[in-house]
């Protein structure tokens, strides 16, 4: 019994470490997105402020990747008991 608790605690610790690493990596991703795109907007502002706002393309494209990264980092990994029972009921009805 004691061995099972140690294994469970070890699994929880590993899961916590993975989540913390994901959050740290997301912070780095967001920082790079902000810095690079601020640099691109500055280039646009210094070179052709009244022309077409071409930084919109990297802002939007990379922005989609940042949103997907945030979704991966901050969404709940584990289904709730309510979600599980709802899915079991749905499967029973379709069988």
R_g of the chain computed on alpha carbons: 22
Domain ranges of the chain: 2-94
Q: How far is CA 88 from CA 55, 81, 83, in A?
A: 48, 10, 9
Report the pLDDT value the prediction gives residue 48, as an integer from 0 to 100: 85
Predicted TM-score (pTM) above 0.85: no
CB-side exposure of 25: number of CA atoms within 13 Å?
11
Average pLDDT over all residues of the chain:
90
- 79: tokens are 């289904």
Residue-wise pLDDT tens digits, 1-39: 566 667 778 888 898 899 999 999 999 999 999 999 999
Distance CA 55, CA 88 (A): 48
Report the pLDDT value the prediction gives residue 55, as an integer from 0 to 100: 96
Residue-wise pLDDT tens digits, 76-94: 777 888 888 999 999 989 8
């Amino acid at each position: 019994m004691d061995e099972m608790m140690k294994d469970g605690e070890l699994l929880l610790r590993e899961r916590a470490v993975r989540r913390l690493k994901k959050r740290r990596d997301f912070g780095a991703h967001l920082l790079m997105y902000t810095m690079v795109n601020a640099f691109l907007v500055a280039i646009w502002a210094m070179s052709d402020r009244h022309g077409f706002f071409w930084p919109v393309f990297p802002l939007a494209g990379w922005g989609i990747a940042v949103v997907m990264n945030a979704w991966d980092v901050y969404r709940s990994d584990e289904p709730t008991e309510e979600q599980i029972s709802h899915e079991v009921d749905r499967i029973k009805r379709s069988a």
